Amino acid sequence: MFWKLLLAFWVAFFVISQLFWVLVTLPATDRTKIEITPLSAPPSPLNGSDAVVERQVRGSDGSMFRVRYHYKGARRILTVPVEPLVLALVFGPIFGVVMAWYLVAPIRRLRQGFERLSAGDLSVRLVPGMGRRHDEIADLARDFDVMASQLEQSIQGREQLLHDVSHELRSPLSRLQLAIALARQDRSQVDASLDRIEYEGRRLDSVVRELLSLARAESENSPGEDYFDLAALLESVLADARFEAEAAGVGIVSDIEAAGAGDSAPSLRGNTELVRWALDNVVRNALRFSTRGQRVHVKLAYDEATARYEIDIVDEGPGAPESVLPTLFEPFVRADETNAGFGLGLAVAKRAVSAQGGTIEASNRPSAGLGVHITLPAGRFAVMA
């Protein structure tokens, strides 16, 4: 924008100066009105009706001369010729109008865009109306479009989340009401109804706890200031998971120190609890889709070239439908609708990993099973032995 304004003013000055010299070129009949005399000589007398414009100039030999231009008319206080005044009065407003339109028009579009956005119109976009501009105002319009797009996605996600939450809560609540009605109608069904009420209460408690975990993961704006050993944290998560896996007949195979993520690797900087949530949810999700006799493979490695940890968690279960993979980390998305989960575990993991500046992806394995690949940036300090 600065260089455009500078170039516009320079071009306007050049054009006006050239027009001025074209307009003030004296015709042959007026050249007799020019008087050039040495400064030491007395000036010629003026007629009563003559007006004169006088300047003193220096010749190439250093002599001083008096240059006078005689013209008919009343004597003026200001001796500026009429031509530059006309040029300034005519072209000055034109140049001002063009520059004002060039600057004010996109700013007005920005203001209208903010007004529409504040009124709830999240579909407003400004870049299409900016034409071929490539200046700071166009950059501001692009930033506005990015902000509006993120707001639209966020609000739509919240609305979808509320819809999904109401759906998930409605089912157990309906079964609770049904169990209560059966208990009132048939006293012999009281024990069975109480068991159902207890079961549905635990499911409601689980979905509320997972929703709170999701909300906390989304509210984290900074990765945290903890420095911890990722290998030790992963081992702790796997130790808890093995307790449940052994009861289900599922094995957990870990490959951590052999992958080079031992004591010589740098520490991880972040929020310990969020990273634990992410790893725990992914591992438990792998266990949930594994059957007796199958194994869950967990591998941790450190990439020195990118200074990032890489974690692979692979199960031997049925995998996920290809149509579900792009949205697998969204809330209430389930790879298998018959599964008892709520579809919040991977969503919590995605938010927690993103808060640490990492990435998480899921893909089906060629043989069988679902693989989840997580990357996390390392910290600045090495883990002490």
Q: Stretch 205-211: mean pLDDT, rounded?
A: 73
Least reliable range by pLDDT among 37-46, 324-333, 373-382: 373-382
In the prediction, which pLDDT does 200 show?
79
In the prediction, which pLDDT does 382 show?
37
- Ranges of beta strands (E only) in 211-343 are 226-228, 251-255, 268-270, 295-303, 308-314
Distance CA 314, CA 155 (A): 33
In the prediction, which pLDDT does 55 show?
85
Q: Stretch 324-335: mean pLDDT, rounded?
A: 76
Distance CA 385, CA 232 (A): 12
Q: Tell me which residue of 198, 195, 193, 190 sits closest to 179, measured CA to CA.
A: 193
In the prediction, which pLDDT does 90 show?
73
Q: Stretch 134-140: mean pLDDT, rounded?
A: 81
- Between 215 and 380, residue with greater pLDDT: 215
As a whole-number percent, the residues of the chain with pLDDT over 90 amount to 7
pTM: 0.52
- Between 250 and 154, residue with greater pLDDT: 250
Q: Stretch 355-371: mean pLDDT, rounded?
A: 87
Q: Stretch 32-42: mean pLDDT, rounded?
A: 80
In the prediction, which pLDDT does 306 show?
85
List beta partners, residue 195.
none
Q: Tell me which residue of 308, 311, 148, 291 sits closest to 233, measured CA to CA.
A: 311
Q: Tell me which residue of 247, 265, 254 sits closest to 296, measured CA to CA.
A: 254
Query: Best-predicted range by mean pLDDT among 37-46, 198-207, 279-288, 318-327?
Result: 279-288
Distance CA 96, CA 12 (A): 10
User: In terms of C-beta density within 10 A (0-12 exposed, 13-18 middle, 19 or more buried), how is residue 309 classed?
Assistant: buried
Instruction: Determine how β-strand 295-303 pairs with β-strand 251-255.
Output: parallel
Residue 161 CA to its chain's centroid (Å): 22
